[in-house]
């Protein structure tokens, strides 16, 4: 697909907790601080989607989050944790999420975690697409034109399935995802723009649900990732849950072990825990009270040091990741010139303190850690749009890629932290005479056994010419592109025949499924557009009829009585129609007719005004 | 889009390449800087030629890196995203090949293996022979490491680490000397020894990993 040079490309940070959209112009990157309805805000759209199971529509962002307590079972948050994951993978998450997580039906041979609301099942890309569509609308409002292209950021440690799911979400939202970039790399882009001297930087990105660390070498506009490590299930959410668990435990000790926490209470507790955590970044202790009903009140004072003790194991895990990333980059902590902080959770003083001890230098956070990833995505967007040539981004693949061999072992083809794009080729043959297809299981991960790695799916090479067993030589090329997404192609060497490849993604959607969702979403968007248009036309009817009423009053007895009667009648009809209309275009037509009919009234008003003016002049 | 290999030459300083589209002289075999036409290399491209460095073991690694970055600035897929699909694809394949070439030439062991490969004779993987006393020495040391580890004897482990590191460095010194000659003098006994030393290096680096698991 060729890219239209005039198209705006936006940069999107699709976060676990919040999402932002940014763009870059000649003055640099900036976040869009106005909602799709033109309301100014802080640019952060909570990654929350509330779906009315009765078919009443979808709310996104702050308005959806307000429903979280009243209707927790239809309010979806932290969907990023389910992206590209199997139902089996997310068992640990289920207890935390008040909405229903199920195995997506109709996905033979695959295992996809999905969300059930009412009688509909939504895959994670569909939920994320609602957030993306909201960000798209923001950008469209800002630019006053359709936006079709975006760069979306993902945690550096996202595997192929999680990246594909993110790209699918973009597609469902009507966005061509021209590039997926890693969040820490994006942050470095936002920071390192004007840097000319060479420096080695560690980007420490602790967000709501994910953690990444990337080691980069920056020199004259080149952003070269040396290594990356992380955990796609470690973030500020975990700290909240430590507080929630503590409260639950103590509440039960006091009021009885049988005490249940229904979804609404759990949601309230979640909001409280987050607020407590944030407060403890600024003050030494926080006092809170929970009304449990029936005259039971739980009162607690929590100190910063208590919180620090609770989150210590998590912070230690992030430092272990730093150690691995440094080892892979063949660097010591002393060789890092700067430690850059990204993500809301790096506001926690304990995180900063431990990092400072670890690296032996004060971490750096000149830019808002919530915005820096979106800003970096916008910088890359201007590179992709051909506006900027001085930036060169060289990133790596976070996880090794391999294939399952006989006996369940893994043959690694591409090692982790290999620069992308990269490719590996491997020869395969047949075991049976006349065999025309070969099945491969492709895996990502560092472990030696296939069962300990993540399966990306089954690739079936078809169309191999029938030959005796062992005779075909099928050369399979595994290419990981600059986005960290795998492409597989195969060729039978003796016949030179290109083998076709049927892919069954282990945890992902097929191309046809994504296409169908895209179509459905487009239809929904049309419905939404109709609803918006109807509201607009109705408002215009109210406005025009009110003006006509004023004009009629002002015209007084000089207006032709017959004309007056006809206008009053038409006005009543139009108002009645506006109340019941479902088709905005029909209503608009009626409005146009009405406006035409009131032209003589307007002319009458003008003539009268002229007469008055002349009269004034004569005086 | 031109997809044919552009040169069959093995000589690192061939007659100047010319772009088939605009006839300009080309600095790099894979891209014309004048008209931005891409020339995806064939699979058996010479990595030295690709990255514009002389074909020899002792390389100026800084120059290798500079060329690698300069080339990326001309062919990286991010700069072709507004082009047609086949051009985007070509830039991706060139970038992948450049990455492989750079990783191979940058690493002293892989560079030696690559030199063996391009200057004839079987590669390390086709000839697994090792110097005579190697296996015995490796096994003895491995036993000593395991014993020291069980006894929790940190001093002994440190000494063993030093010993293995020294052996590895000794092998690498030999690799450097031999690989530096392979393309010029190219005597089969020397190539044979290089393969043996490279295989020995694998054993020693394996032992180092055993000593310092990540």
Strands A176-182 and A149-154 come out as parallel
How far from A485 is each of A52, A162, A166, A398, B121, CA to CA, in Å?
34, 10, 11, 11, 37
At residue B6 the predicted structure's pLDDT band, cuts being 50, 70 and 90, is very low
In this complex, the residue of A384, A389, A482 whose CB is nearest that of residue B92 is: A482
Same domain, A427 and A298: no
Same domain, A405 and A262: no
CATH number (domain holding residue A614): 1.20.1270.10
Same domain, A458 and A521: no
Q: What is the pLDDT of residue A53?
A: 86
| 3-class SS of residue A456 | strand
Q: Which position has the higher pLDDT, A427 or A499?
A: A427
Same domain, A285 and A301: yes
Q: Are A190 and A376 in contact (CB under 8 A)?
A: yes
Q: What is the residue range of A528's domain? A: 513-618
Strands A401-404 and A438-444 come out as antiparallel
In a domain, A3, yes or no: no
Q: Which residues of A touch B78 (CB under 8 A)?
A: 179, 380, 383-384, 392-393, 482
Interface test with A, best of B61, B65, B96, B125 (most A CBs within 10 A): B96
Mean pLDDT of B104-109: 93
Mean pLDDT of A532-544: 81
CB pairs under 8 A between A and B: 67
Q: For residue B139, is pLDDT > 50?
A: yes
Last residue of a domain, one of A491, A509, A527: A509
| 3-class SS of residue A473 | coil
Q: For residue A1, is pLDDT > 70?
A: no
At residue B182 the predicted structure's pLDDT band, cuts being 50, 70 and 90, is confident
Same domain, A321 and A282: no
Whether A5 and B78 lie within 8 Å, measured CB to CB: no
The proportion of chain A whose per-residue pLDDT surpasses 70, expressed as a percent, equals 96
In A, minimum Cα distance to B100 occurs at A422
Distance in angstroms (rounded) separating the CA atoms of residues A109 and A502: 13
Q: What is the least distance, in Å, from the CA of B15 to any CA of chain A? A: 30
- Among residues B91, B51, B96, which one has the least CA distance to residue B71? B51
Q: For residue A41, is pLDDT > 50?
A: yes
Q: What is the pLDDT of residue B3?
A: 43
Q: What is the pLDDT of residue A2?
A: 39
* Residue A134 tokens, joined: 């909201």
Domain locations in chain B as residue ranges: 17-106, 124-211
Q: What is the pLDDT of residue A557?
A: 82
Same domain, A96 and A114: yes
The proportion of chain A whose per-residue pLDDT surpasses 90, expressed as a percent, equals 60
In A, minimum Cα distance to B96 occurs at A422
In A, minimum Cα distance to B94 occurs at A421
Q: Which pLDDT tens digit goes with each residue over B67-106?
A: 999 999 999 999 998 889 999 999 999 999 999 999 999 9
Residue B80 DSSP label: G
Same domain, A505 and A559: no
At residue A615 the predicted structure's pLDDT band, cuts being 50, 70 and 90, is low
Q: Which pLDDT tens digit goes with each residue over A376-398?
A: 999 999 999 988 888 999 999 99
In this complex, the residue of B83, B100, B214 whose CB is nearest that of residue A422 is: B100
Residues of B with CB under 8 A from a CB of A: 69, 72-73, 76-79, 81-85, 92-93, 95-97, 99-100, 102-103, 214
- Total domains, chain A: 4
| 3-class SS of residue A257 | coil
Q: For residue A478, is pLDDT > 90?
A: yes
Last residue of a domain, one of A329, A363, A394: A394
Residues 6+ apart with CB under 8 A from A229: A157, A212, A213, A321, A322, A324, A325, A328, A398
Q: Which pLDDT tens digit goes with each residue over A55-113?
A: 768 899 998 988 888 888 899 999 999 999 999 889 888 888 889 999 998 777 789 99
In a domain, A4, yes or no: no
Interface test with B, best of A4, A9, A227, A394 (most B CBs within 10 A): A394
Mean pLDDT of B195-211: 89
Distance in angstroms (rounded) separating the CA atoms of residues A480 and A488: 9
In a domain, A493, yes or no: yes
What mean pLDDT is reported for chain B? 85
**Least confident window among A80-84, A283-287, A469-473:** A469-473
Q: Are B99 and B110 in contact (CB under 8 A)?
A: no
Q: For residue A14, is pLDDT > 80?
A: yes
**Least confident window among A186-190, A415-419, A527-531:** A527-531
At residue A225 the predicted structure's pLDDT band, cuts being 50, 70 and 90, is very high
Same domain, A486 and A612: no
Whether B77 and A481 lie within 8 Å, measured CB to CB: yes
In this complex, the residue of B83, B84, B99 whose CB is nearest that of residue A419 is: B99
Provide the annotated active-site residues of A: 13, 80, 183, 205
Q: What is the pLDDT of residue A566?
A: 92
At residue A3 the predicted structure's pLDDT band, cuts being 50, 70 and 90, is very low
Q: Which residues of B touch A380 (CB under 8 A)?
A: 78
At residue B5 the predicted structure's pLDDT band, cuts being 50, 70 and 90, is very low
Q: Which pLDDT tens digit goes with each residue over A435-457?
A: 999 999 999 999 888 888 999 98
Interface test with A, best of B51, B99, B205 (most A CBs within 10 A): B99
Q: Are A65 and A77 in contact (CB under 8 A)?
A: yes
Q: What is the pLDDT of residue A484?
A: 94
Interface test with A, best of B78, B90, B100 (most A CBs within 10 A): B78
Q: For residue A480, is pLDDT > 80?
A: yes
In A, minimum Cα distance to B87 occurs at A2
Q: Which residues of B touch A394 (CB under 8 A)?
A: 72, 76
In A, minimum Cα distance to B69 occurs at A222
How far from A307 is each of A246, A290, A304, A436, CA to CA, in Å?
10, 18, 5, 61
In A, minimum Cα distance to B86 occurs at A1
Same domain, A463 and A562: no
What mean pLDDT is reported for chain A? 90
Whether A222 and B69 lie within 8 Å, measured CB to CB: yes
Q: For residue A305, is pLDDT > 80?
A: yes
Q: What is the least distance, in Å, from the CA of B197 to any CA of chain A? A: 24
Q: For residue A501, is pLDDT > 70?
A: yes
Distance in angstroms (rounded) separating the CA atoms of residues A217 and B87: 29
Whether A380 and B78 lie within 8 Å, measured CB to CB: yes
At residue A510 the predicted structure's pLDDT band, cuts being 50, 70 and 90, is confident
Q: Which residues of B touch A448 (CB under 8 A)?
A: none
Mean pLDDT of A334-363: 96
Same domain, A57 and A156: yes
Mean pLDDT of B162-174: 93
Strand order across the beta sheet in which A392-394 lies? A338-342, A199-206, A211-219, A222-231, A392-394
CATH number (domain holding residue A271): 3.90.640.10
CATH number (domain holding residue A465): 2.60.34.10
Q: What is the least distance, in Å, from the CA of A25 to any CA of chain B? A: 18
At residue A613 the predicted structure's pLDDT band, cuts being 50, 70 and 90, is low
Those of residues 399-458 in A touching chain B at CB distance below 8 A are 418-423
How far from B108 is each of A202, B103, B193, CA to CA, in Å?
26, 10, 16
Q: Are A204 and A339 in contact (CB under 8 A)?
A: yes
CATH number for the domain whose boundaries are B17-106? 1.10.287.110
Q: What is the pLDDT of residue A6?
A: 63
- Among residues A315, A378, A326, which one has the least CA distance to residue A203? A326
Strands A222-231 and A392-394 come out as parallel
- Among residues B203, B199, B208, which one has the least CA distance to residue B178? B199
Q: Are A87 and A113 in contact (CB under 8 A)?
A: yes
Same domain, A79 and A133: yes
Q: For residue B9, is pLDDT > 80?
A: no
Q: Which pLDDT tens digit goes with each residue over B12-52?
A: 455 678 888 898 888 888 999 888 889 887 777 899 999 99
Q: What is the least distance, in Å, from the CA of B133 to any CA of chain A? A: 30
Residues 6+ apart with CB under 8 A from B156: B144, B148
- The reply to whether A393 touches chain B by the CB within 8 Å rule is yes
Distance in angstroms (rounded) separating the CA atoms of residues A411 and A196: 41
Same domain, A123 and A192: yes
Last residue of a domain, one of A452, A484, A509: A509
């Amino acid at each position: 697909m060729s890219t239209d040079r005039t198209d705006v490309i936006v940069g999107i940070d699709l976060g676990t907790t919040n999402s932002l959209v940014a763009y870059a112009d000649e003055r640099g990157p900036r976040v869009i601080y106005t909602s799709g309805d033109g309301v100014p805000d802080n640019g952060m759209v909570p990654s929350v989607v509330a779906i009315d199971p009765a078919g009443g529509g979808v709310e996104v962002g702050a308005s959806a989050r307000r429903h979280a307590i009243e209707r927790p079972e239809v309010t979806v948050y932290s969907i990023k944790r389910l992206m590209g994951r199997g139902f089996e993978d997310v068992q640990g998450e289920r207890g935390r999420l008040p909405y229903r997580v199920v195995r997506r039906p109709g996905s033979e041979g695959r295992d996809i975690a999905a969300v059930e609301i009412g009688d509909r099942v939504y895959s994670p890309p569909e939920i994320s697409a609602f957030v993306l569509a909201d960000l798209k609308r923001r950008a469209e409002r800002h630019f006053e034109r359709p936006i079709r292209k975006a760069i979306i950021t993902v945690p550096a440690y996202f595997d192929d399935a999680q990246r594909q799911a993110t790209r699918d979400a973009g597609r469902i939202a009507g966005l061509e995802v021209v590039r997926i970039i890693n969040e820490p790399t994006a942050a470095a882009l936002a920071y390192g723009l004007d840097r000319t001297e060479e420096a080695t930087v560690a980007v420490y990105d602790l967000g709501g649900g994910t953690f990444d660390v990337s080691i980069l070498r920056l020199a004259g506009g080149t952003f070269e990732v040396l290594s990356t490590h992380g955990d796609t299930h470690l973030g500020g959410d975990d700290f909240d849950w430590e507080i929630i668990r503590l409260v639950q435990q103590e509440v039960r000790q006091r009021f009885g072990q049988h005490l249940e926490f229904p979804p609404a209470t759990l949601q309230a507790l979640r909001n409280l825990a987050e607020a407590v955590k944030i407060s403890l970044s600024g003050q030494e202790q926080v006092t809170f009270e929970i009304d449990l009903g029936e005259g039971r009140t739980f009162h607690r004072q929590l100190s910063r040091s208590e919180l620090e003790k609770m989150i210590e194991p998590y912070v230690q895990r992030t430092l272990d990741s730093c150690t691995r990333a440094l080892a892979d980059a063949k660097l010591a902590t002393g060789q890092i010139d700067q430690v850059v902080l990204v993500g809301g959770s790096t506001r926690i003083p304990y995180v900063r303190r431990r990092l400072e001890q670890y690296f032996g230098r004060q971490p750096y956070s000149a830019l808002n850690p919530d915005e820096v990833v979106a800003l970096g995505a916008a910088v890359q967007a201007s590179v992709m749009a051909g506006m900027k040539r001085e930036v060169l981004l060289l990133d790596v693949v976070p996880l090794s890629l391999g294939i399952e061999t006989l006996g369940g072992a893994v043959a690694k083809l591409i090692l982790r932290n290999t620069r992308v794009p990269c490719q590996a080729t491997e020869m395969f043959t047949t075991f049976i005479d006349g065999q025309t297809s070969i099945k491969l299981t492709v895996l990502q991960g560092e472990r030696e056994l296939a069962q300990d790695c993540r399966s990306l799916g089954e690739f079936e090479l078809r169309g191999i010419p029938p030959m005796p067993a062992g005779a075909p030589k099928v050369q399979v090329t595994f290419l990981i592109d600059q986005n960290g997404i795998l492409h597989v192609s195969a060729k039978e060497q003796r016949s030179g025949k290109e083998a076709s490849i049927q892919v069954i993604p282990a945890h992902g959607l097929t191309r046809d499924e994504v296409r169908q969702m895209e179509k459905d979403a487009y239809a929904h968007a049309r419905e939404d557009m109709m609803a918006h248009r109807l509201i607009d036309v109705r408002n215009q009817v109210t406005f025009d009829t009110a003006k006509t009423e004023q004009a009629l009053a002002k015209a007084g007895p000089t207006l032709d009585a017959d004309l007056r009667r006809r206008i009053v009648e038409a006005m009543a009809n139009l108002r009645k129609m506006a109340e019941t209309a479902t088709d905005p275009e029909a209503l608009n037509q009626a409005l146009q007719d009405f406006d035409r009919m009131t032209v003589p009234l307007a002319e009458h008003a003008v003539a009268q005004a002229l007469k008055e003016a002349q009269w004034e002049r004569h005086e | 889009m031109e997809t044919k290999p552009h040169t069959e030459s093995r000589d690192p300083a061939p007659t100047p390449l010319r772009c088939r589209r605009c006839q300009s002289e080309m600095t790099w075999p894979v891209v014309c800087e004048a008209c931005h036409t891409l020339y995806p290399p064939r699979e058996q491209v010479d990595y030295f030629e690709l990255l514009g460095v002389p074909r020899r073991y002792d390389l100026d690694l800084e120059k290798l890196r500079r060329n690698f970055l300069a080339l990326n600035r001309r062919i990286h897929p991010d700069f072709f995203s507004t082009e047609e699909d086949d051009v985007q694809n070509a830039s991706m394949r060139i970038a992948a090949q450049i990455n492989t070439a750079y990783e191979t030439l940058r690493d002293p062991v892989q560079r030696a293996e690559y030199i063996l490969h391009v200057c004839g004779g079987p590669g390390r993987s086709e000839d697994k022979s090792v110097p005579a006393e190697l296996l015995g020495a490796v096994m003895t040391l491995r036993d000593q490491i395991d014993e020291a580890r069980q006894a929790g004897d940190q001093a002994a482990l440190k000494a063993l680490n030093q010993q293995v590191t020294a052996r590895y460095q000794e092998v690498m010194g030999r690799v450097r000397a031999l690989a530096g000659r392979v393309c010029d003098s190219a005597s089969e006994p020397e190539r044979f020894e290089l393969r043996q030393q490279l295989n020995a290096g694998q054993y020693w680096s394996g032992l180092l990993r055993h000593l310092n698991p990540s």
